[in-house]
């Protein structure tokens, strides 16, 4: 029997206990040993709850108990999570975490400490919730050089954009509904400004390219400026608007970005709706693959954490190789990245169409209502687009596109 | 440096050599050691091809060479592949294979032999080509009890059905085109009759439930009876017709089947078109997940084989736990499985509608052309459907549905 400790009895922590209880026997069979929770660290008490007998408030009890071989960190936030995780690894305990902030900021360091102490630091649940993506990337796509990873990595924003598109509603109204349903936080900035997706793509890019990608370096644009009107044009163009987090390699350059994008019906992410997440990966041998599922939620996330615990039980005395060099990968300037651009301009095509065509060359116009019109450019570098767009009066909005 | 031998220099075998050459350095980095092909076993010679210097015709050279630690079996077919693989495992060599016939028939036995000799028998490429599904199932979805696996596991049939739906063509015409394009074999029976998908779902079911599922026990229906007219109704119903391979658990019963199915737009497999494959998995904790990509082709398949080789290099002295009990799992009678049914009947709704409603209860009628009509039943057991359908005159076709 393997004893584990769970740090934090919030949504994911209680999910981990529930998954281990519900599937106790089948998990034991797959791990080769039963897995039992010995301690749950939380500041609170839970009188009347069966968990109470395992609740402790002093982390040193866990650190000093040699029977505890695996520590599950599901508190969230950088501190004290980071200190606790380091201490656990240095005490020769394996760690599994769902904490994307921790992994994005300290992943390379924690991977190195784990190797030094011949234990494993695993973090499948930190990206894509229940979707297996970290382990497939590290253990299944190893024959490939990764050309691109593009994901819908945030369920809240995908829900909001899906609803805006389906019901023709404004951003503020859908956000309010999402908050009522519990799909969005009361302070939604981390989701709607793209910060959550940014940390997740930083983790995936670090693993794909083997070097630290700092999330602070990734250009990040949220969905707060997307309006009902943008969806009117999207419908005419037959495209979807999604918040995409992407990294790609072009020669020696690695680009990374979080931004709303228009994608066509032939894009594998086009149909990923509501709170679902999906991650598209292109390998130089494999071609296109996609992983789809629930990117958040108590049990899906806990399922991924427990799967990490099972792998750790199976590799109790072996550090599984994982390349995450702390040396920083310098991202290319996103102004050199190329996309198509959808642009909305005040006025009419008859007034301004000629000017647009003269400046942008070959464009497709999209006629619309309310004293404005739209057009779509060819593929061009971001900085070229910026120069050209500055020459047009009355630009109301631009959305990057890949269709 | 790890030396490997490749058995068979056909499409996949030459792909394996190409992947190892193209990505040699990045693969070495991930594996921790360079991987080099020492021998290629083939009956043929390849004069003028750089591979010729590695070509041998006598398998004993490989078996007796202790430097060869990993054998890649990509010959296909049950024999001599099975004998060769057993000999390799018993000689303490790891094996990676893309051979679904071998794995479906002898997987449990080969897994046991590998464990006995502390080596690994890996077969990611045997299902879903380049799509990582075997390792995710064995190493990522371990916290879950698998409630259902449903896949589009055969690219040829998916291409044919997609083209029939898009272009309104008859089966025979699309098949001929697919053969011309190399998407279908000259003798297409293994694909179009569902035998290929059947072996693949037998492998997935065995892994999901930990016991041998014999492919001979799986009810298998191909696509040869699907007509242009069925797609006319499908369009009216807003559904797709796909060849699905499925296994699911309901209480103690495990069902498995390969059959054309109608699925609705909200089904994750609805949009999987052309030669792409996808596998939908439902876990009791995770909920729904899907894996999508290229189910066949030289480089995608070779990518999966080489990824297995990398895992074997990383686990050179460790057998990775894998539960595949040779004791047979007795599948439930598929007549007890429930679906909706779409039925085409000669005559008109005005003549026969009342009879249909009396016999089937609540149905939805779909008016059509050419002296026939269609209807869709509620969910019901297959045997109940059969009894009821036998009471209706002029039943032309029935397709199972999940929408």
Residue A112: in which H helix or E strand, if any?
Answer: helix A100-116
Residue A369 has pLDDT above 80, yes or no: no
Using CA atoms, how far apart are residues A304 and A96, in angstroms rounded to an integer?
Answer: 9
Average pLDDT, chain B: 96
Two structure tokens written together for B5:
């031998």
- Residue A183, pLDDT score: 87
Q: Per the CB < 8 Å rule, is B23 touching A143?
A: yes
Say yes or no: A25 contacts chain B, CB-CB below 8 A. no
If one counts every other C-beta atom within 10 angstroms of the C-beta of residue B73, the result is 27
Say yes or no: B312 contacts chain A, CB-CB below 8 A. no
pLDDT-based confidence at A377, cuts 50/70/90? very high
Say yes or no: B118 contacts chain A, CB-CB below 8 A. no
Among the listed residues B176, B230, B155, B160, the one whose alpha carbon sits nearest the alpha carbon of residue B400: B230
Q: How far is CA A336 from the centre of its chain?
A: 24
Per-window interface: A 340-399 vs B, CB < 8 A: none
- Residue B182, pLDDT score: 86
User: Are A282 and A168 in the same domain?
Assistant: yes
Residue B326 in domain: no
> For the segment A378-400, what is each residue's pLDDT rounded down to a tens digit?
999 999 999 999 999 999 999 99
Distance from CA of A210 to the nearest CA of B (A): 9
Indicate which residue of B54, B93, B200, B352 is catalytic.
B200
User: Are B277 and B341 in the same domain?
Assistant: no
Q: CB within 8 A of B60, min separation 6: which ones?
A: none
> For the segment A271-289, what is each residue's pLDDT rounded down to a tens digit?
999 999 999 999 999 999 9
Residue B328 in domain: no
Give the 3-state secondary structure percentages of chain B, helix then strand then coil, rounded to 5.
40, 25, 30
CATH of the domain at A192: 3.30.360.10
Two structure tokens written together for A256:
């990374």
pLDDT-based confidence at B370, cuts 50/70/90? confident
User: Are B46 and B122 in the same domain?
Assistant: yes
> For the segment B20-58, what is each residue's pLDDT rounded down to a tens digit?
999 999 999 999 999 999 999 999 999 999 999 999 999
User: Are A143 and A272 in the same domain?
Assistant: yes
Q: What is the number of H-type helices and E-type strands within chain A?
A: 14, 19
Say yes or no: A286 contacts chain B, CB-CB below 8 A. yes
Set of chain A residues whose Cβ sits within 8 Å of the Cβ of B299: 285-287
Distance from CA of B98 to the nearest CA of A (A): 14
Residue B369 has pLDDT above 80, yes or no: no
Q: What is the arithmetic mean of pLDDT over A230-251?
A: 96
CATH of the domain at B378: 3.30.70.1150
Residue B212 has pLDDT above 80, yes or no: yes
- Residue B367, pLDDT score: 81
Q: Per the CB < 8 Å rule, is B19 touching A143?
A: yes
Say yes or no: B210 contacts chain A, CB-CB below 8 A. yes
Q: CB within 8 A of B59, min separation 6: which ones?
A: B7, B41, B80, B84, B87
> For the segment B281-328, what is each residue's pLDDT rounded down to a tens digit?
999 999 999 999 999 899 999 999 999 999 999 999 999 989 999 999
User: Are A318 and A285 in the same domain?
Assistant: no
- Residue A182, pLDDT score: 86
Residue A143 in domain: yes
Say yes or no: A145 contacts chain B, CB-CB below 8 A. yes
User: Are B185 and B263 in the same domain?
Assistant: yes
CATH of the domain at A312: 3.40.50.720
> For the segment A138-181, what is each residue's pLDDT rounded down to a tens digit?
999 999 999 999 999 999 999 999 999 999 999 999 999 999 98
Set of chain A residues whose Cβ sits within 8 Å of the Cβ of B210: 29
Q: Consult the annotation and say whether A10 binds a ligand.
A: yes
Set of chain A residues whose Cβ sits within 8 Å of the Cβ of B284: 22-23
Residue A213 in domain: yes
Q: Consult the annotation and say whether B310 binds a ligand.
A: no
**Which residues are registered as beta bridge partners of A340?**
A401
Chain B interface, best mutation among A29, A144, A316, A323, by max B CB count within 10 A: A144
User: Are A165 and A289 in the same domain?
Assistant: yes
**Which residues are registered as beta bridge partners of A97?**
A73
Residue A113 has pLDDT above 80, yes or no: yes
Q: Which residue of B has its CA nearest to A311?
A: B139
Alpha helices (runs of H) in A324-381, residue ranges in sequence order: 349-360
Q: What is the arithmetic mean of pLDDT over A186-192?
A: 95
Indicate which residue of A38, A54, A163, A200 is catalytic.
A200
> For the segment A290-333, what is each residue's pLDDT rounded down to a tens digit?
999 999 899 999 999 999 999 999 999 999 989 999 999 999 99
Using CA atoms, how far apart are residues A313 and A308, in angstroms rounded to an integer?
Answer: 9
User: Are A340 and A397 in the same domain?
Assistant: yes
Q: What is the arithmetic mean of pLDDT over B7-17?
A: 98
Q: CB within 8 A of A187, min separation 6: which ones?
A: none
> For the segment B52-75, what is each residue's pLDDT rounded down to a tens digit?
999 999 999 999 999 999 999 999
Set of chain B residues whose Cβ sits within 8 Å of the Cβ of A302: 143, 285
* Structural domain harbouring B373: 335-402
Residue A329 in domain: no
Q: CB within 8 A of A312, min separation 6: which ones?
A: A69, A70, A94, A96, A119, A120, A122
**Among residues of chain B, what percentage have pLDDT more than 70?**
100
Alpha helices (runs of H) in B119-255, residue ranges in sequence order: 134-135, 155-167, 171-181, 189-192, 195-209, 228-237
> For the segment A44-81, what is each residue's pLDDT rounded down to a tens digit?
999 999 999 999 999 999 999 999 999 999 999 999 99
Q: How many CA atoms lie within 13 A of A102 on its CB side?
A: 27
Q: CB within 8 A of A258, min separation 6: which ones?
A: A194, A197, A198, A201, A218, A219, A220, A221, A222, A243, A244, A245, A246
- Interface predicted TM-score (ipTM): 0.95
**Which residues are registered as beta bridge partners of B366?**
B374
Set of chain A residues whose Cβ sits within 8 Å of the Cβ of B289: 130-132, 291-294
Catalytic residue flag (residue A93) = no
Q: What is the arithmetic mean of pLDDT over A220-235?
A: 97
A356: left (phi over 0), alpha (psi -120 to 50) or beta: alpha
Pairwise pLDDT comparison (A182 vs B253), residue with the higher score: B253
User: Are B158 and B208 in the same domain?
Assistant: yes
Chain B interface, best mutation among A142, A287, A327, by max B CB count within 10 A: A142
User: Are A26 and A114 in the same domain?
Assistant: yes
User: Are B152 and B285 in the same domain?
Assistant: yes
Set of chain B residues whose Cβ sits within 8 Å of the Cβ of A288: 293-294
- Residue B403, pLDDT score: 92
Q: Consult the annotation and say whether B238 binds a ligand.
A: no
Distance from CA of B20 to the nearest CA of A (A): 8
pLDDT-based confidence at A368, cuts 50/70/90? confident
Residue A331 in domain: no
Residue B150 has pLDDT above 90, yes or no: yes
Chain B interface, best mutation among A24, A285, A322, by max B CB count within 10 A: A285
Using CA atoms, how far apart are residues B26 and B14, in angstroms rounded to an integer?
Answer: 19
User: Are A232 and A371 in the same domain?
Assistant: no
Say yes or no: A295 contacts chain B, CB-CB below 8 A. no
Task: Kindly report which listed range (A95-104, A209-218, B180-189, B212-221) carries the lowest average pLDDT score.
Answer: B180-189
Residue B143 in domain: yes
Give the 3-state secondary structure percentages of chain A, helix then strand then coil, rounded to 5.
40, 25, 30
Residue A327 in domain: no
Q: CB within 8 A of A176, min separation 6: which ones?
A: none
Q: Consult the annotation and say whether B7 binds a ligand.
A: yes
**Among residues of chain A, what percentage have pLDDT more than 70?**
100
Chain B interface, best mutation among A140, A149, A277, A327, by max B CB count within 10 A: A140
**Among residues of chain B, what percentage have pLDDT more than 90?**
96
End-to-end CA distance of chain A: give it in Å, rounded: 53
Residue B248: in which H helix or E strand, if any?
Answer: strand B239-250
How many domains does chain B fold into? Answer: 3
> For the segment B83-136, what is each residue's pLDDT rounded down to a tens digit?
999 999 999 999 999 999 999 999 999 999 999 999 999 999 999 999 999 999
Say yes or no: A110 contacts chain B, CB-CB below 8 A. no
What does residue B292 show for φ and ψ, rounded to 5 degrees?
Answer: -135, 145
Residues A75, A99: contact at Cβ < 8 Å? yes
């Amino acid at each position: 029997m393997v004893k584990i400790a769970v740090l934090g009895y919030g949504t994911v922590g209680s999910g981990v206990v529930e998954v281990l209880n519900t599937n106790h026997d089948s998990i034991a069979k797959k791990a080769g040993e039963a897995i039992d929770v010995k301690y749950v660290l939380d500041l609170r008490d839970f009188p009347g709850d069966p968990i109470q007998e395992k609740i402790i408030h002093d982390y040193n009890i866990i650190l000093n108990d040699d029977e505890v071989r695996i520590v599950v960190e599901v508190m969230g936030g950088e501190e004290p999570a980071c200190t606790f995780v380091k201490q656990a690894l240095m005490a020769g305990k394996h760690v599994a975490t769902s904490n994307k902030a921790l992994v994005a900021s300290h992943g390379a360091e924690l991977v190195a400490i784990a190797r030094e102490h011949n234990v494993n630091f695993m973090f499948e649940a930190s990206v894509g919730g229940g979707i297996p993506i970290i382990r497939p990337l590290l253990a299944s796509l190893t024959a490939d050089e990764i050309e691109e990873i593009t994901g819908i990595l945030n369920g809240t924003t995908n829900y909001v954009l899906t609803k805006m598109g389906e019901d023709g509603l404004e951003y503020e109204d859908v956000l309010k509904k999402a908050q009522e349903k519990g799909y969005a936080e009361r302070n939604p900035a981390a989701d709607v400004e793209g910060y959550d997706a940014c940390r997740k793509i930083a983790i995936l890019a670090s693993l794909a390219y083997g070097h630290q990608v700092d999330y602070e370096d990734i250009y990040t644009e949220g969905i707060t400026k997307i309006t009902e009107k943008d969806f009117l044009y999207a419908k005419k163009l037959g495209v979807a608007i999604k918040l995409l987090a992407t990294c790609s390699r072009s020669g020696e350059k690695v680009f990374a970005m979080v931004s709303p994008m228009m994608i066509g019906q032939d894009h594998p992410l086009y149909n990923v709706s509501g709170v679902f997440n999906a991650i598209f990966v292109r390998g130089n041998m494999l071609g296109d693959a996609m992983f789809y599922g629930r990117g958040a939620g108590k049990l899906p996330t806990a399922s991924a954490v427990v799967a990490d615990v099972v792998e750790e039980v199976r590799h109790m005395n072996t550090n599984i190789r994982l390349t995450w060099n702390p040396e920083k990968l310098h991202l290319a300037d996103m102004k050199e990245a190329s996309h198509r651009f959808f642009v909305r301009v005040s006025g009419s095509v008859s007034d301004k169409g000629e000017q647009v065509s003269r400046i942008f060359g070959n464009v497709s116009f999209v006629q619309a209502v309310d004293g404005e019109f739209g057009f779509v450019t060819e593929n061009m570098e971001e900085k070229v687009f910026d120069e050209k767009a500055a020459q047009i009066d009355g630009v109301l909005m631009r959305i990057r596109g890949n269709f």
